Structure 1
Amino acid sequence: MNLAKLKNKISFFSVQTESVQAEKGKNSNPSAFMAIVRKEFTDYIRSWRILILGVIILLACIGSLYTAITSISDAIDQAGKEAETLGSDLYLFLQLFTVSDGTLPSFITFVGFLGPLFGIALGFDAINSERNRGTLSRLLSQPIPRDYLINAKFVAALLLNVLLFFSLGLLVMAFGILILGIPPTFEEFLRIFFFLCLCIVYIAFWLNLGILFSVVFKSQATSALSSIAVWIFFNVFYSMIINLVSKSLLNPEKLTSVSEVLNKQGTVLTLMRFSPNYLFSESTTILLSPNVRSLGPLTVEQTVGAVAGPLPLSQSLLLIWPQLTGLVAATLICFAIAYLSFMRQEIRTN
Structure 2
Amino acid sequence: MKSSTIQQNPTSDLTSFKNLLSSSGKIENPLSSTFWNMVRKEISDHVRSWRFIILLIIISLTCLGSLYVSLSGFAEVVKKSASNDEFFFLKLFTQSDGTLPSFFVFVSFLGPLLGISIGFDAINSEQNRGTLSRILAQPVPRDYVLNSKFIAGTIVVAIMFFSLSFLVIGTGLLALGIPPTPEEFLRIMVYTLISVIYVSFWLNLSILFSVRFKQAATSALSGIAVWLFFTVFYPLLMNLVLKGIQPSRYALPRTIFRYETLKYGLTQIMPNELFSEITSTLLVPSVRSLGPLTQGQIQGAIPGPLPLGQSLMVVWPQLTGLIALTLICFLISYYMFMRREIRSR
TM > 0.5: yes
The 8 Å contact of residues 247 and 255 in structure 2, kept in 1 or not, is answered as no
What is the match of residue 287 of structure 1? 282
1:171 maps to a residue whose letter is L
2:309 maps to a residue whose letter is S
2:35 maps to a residue whose letter is F
Partner SS, residue 130 of structure 1: helix
The 8 Å contact of residues 161 and 200 in structure 1, kept in 2 or not, is answered as yes
- Cα deviation, residue 250, structure 1: 2.1
What is the match of residue 268 of structure 2? 273
Distance 1:261 1:28 in 2: 60
The 8 Å contact of residues 29 and 144 in structure 1, kept in 2 or not, is answered as no
Cα 1:242–1:158 change in 2 (3 A) is same
Distance 2:172 2:300 in 1: 37
1:161-240 equivalences in 2 (<5 Å) = 161-240=157-236
Distance 2:64 2:281 in 1: 23
What is the match of residue 260 of structure 1? 255
- Cα deviation, residue 78, structure 1: 5.1
2:294 maps to a residue whose letter is T
1:275 maps to a residue whose letter is M
Partner SS, residue 188 of structure 1: helix
Runs of 4+ in structure 1 off by over 4 angstroms are 77-81
Cα 1:325–1:202 change in 2 (3 A) is same
- Cα deviation, residue 264, structure 1: 1.8
Match of 1:296 among 278, 291, 295: 291
The answer for unaligned runs of 5 or more in structure 1 is 1-16, 84-88
- Cα deviation, residue 29, structure 1: 4.1
1:1-350 equivalences in 2 (<5 Å) = 27-77=29-79, 79=81, 83=84, 89-252=85-248, 256-350=251-345
The 8 Å contact of residues 127 and 215 in structure 1, kept in 2 or not, is answered as yes
1:158 maps to a residue whose letter is T
Partner SS, residue 32 of structure 2: helix
Partner SS, residue 27 of structure 1: coil
Distance 1:95 1:201 in 2: 22
The 8 Å contact of residues 247 and 259 in structure 2, kept in 1 or not, is answered as no
Distance 2:27 2:199 in 1: 34
Percent of aligned positions that are identical: 54
What is the match of residue 4 of structure 2? none
Distance 1:152 1:159 in 2: 10
Distance 2:28 2:79 in 1: 63
- Cα deviation, residue 206, structure 1: 0.2
Partner SS, residue 99 of structure 2: coil
The answer for unaligned runs of 5 or more in structure 2 is 1-16
- Cα deviation, residue 200, structure 1: 0.5
The 8 Å contact of residues 75 and 99 in structure 1, kept in 2 or not, is answered as no
Distance 2:317 2:193 in 1: 15
- Cα deviation, residue 267, structure 1: 1.3
Cα 1:262–1:26 change in 2 (3 A) is farther
Distance 1:166 1:213 in 2: 27
Distance 2:310 2:287 in 1: 11
Partner SS, residue 282 of structure 1: helix
Cα 1:25–1:337 change in 2 (3 A) is farther
1:215 maps to a residue whose letter is V
Which sits farther off after the overlay, 67-76 or 212-221?
67-76
